[in-house]
Structure 1
Amino acid sequence: MNVFVSLLRTGVPALGGWLVALAARHGLHIDGDAVAGVLTPTAVFLYYTVFRFAEEHVSPRFGWLLGYARPPEYKALPA
């Protein structure tokens, strides 16, 4: 379950970042590939950062915008 949650929490922000980059590309007059290549990872990082911070400091409900309502929990390996 933890692997699924971690993948979901990465995939949803990636999709959000892609959508932001796609929207920005239509308003700019630069090569679309260059814009997407720069904006996509930047938008993904910003999206994840904003909603991860909101999840921790405002309300756990913001976790849904990362794909799952709570951060994944990883068990410590025995020493």
Structure 2
Amino acid sequence: MTIYDTLASLWRTAVPIIVGTLVTVLAHAGLNVDSAAAIAWLTAAFSGAYYTLFRLLEAHVSPAWGWLLGLARPPAYPAPAASPTVAPPVKGA
């Protein structure tokens, strides 16, 4: 995996977290909830929902939806190297 792909994967993870935090702050502004746990759960829920929604739209509707994850192109992950096959032992040898 290239440095670009590594940084792209990190950025595409960070953007939903940032958006989830902003949505939580905005949602919390209208609520009188003072629970740190509630804020943490809301942030995680909004972040996960945001990422899932736009990742599915990117994969099934149009790659342009990837811009809402921070980059329009998902990182490319190389295929794992094929492991060498080992022949089974020959019986009677």
1:34 deviates by: 3.0
Matches within 5 A, 1:1-79: 1-78=4-81, 79=83
Larger-Rg structure: 2
1:32 deviates by: 4.6
Q: Which segments of 5 or more consecutive residues in structure 2 lack a partner in the other structure?
A: 84-93
Q: Runs of at least 4 residues of structure 1 off by over 6 A?
A: none
The whole-number CA distance in structure 2 between the counterparts of 1:76 and 1:59 is 24
Maintained 8 Å contact 1:21/1:40: yes
Give the partner amino acid of 1:59.
S
Higher helix content, 1 or 2: 1
Secondary structure in structure 2 of the residue aligned to 1:46 = helix
User: TM-score, normalised on structure 1?
Assistant: 0.91
Secondary structure in structure 2 of the residue aligned to 1:29 = coil
Over the matched positions of the two proteins, sequence identity in percent amounts to 47
The whole-number CA distance in structure 2 between the counterparts of 1:64 and 1:32 is 33
The whole-number CA distance in structure 1 between the counterparts of 2:10 and 2:38 is 25
User: TM-score, normalised on structure 2?
Assistant: 0.78
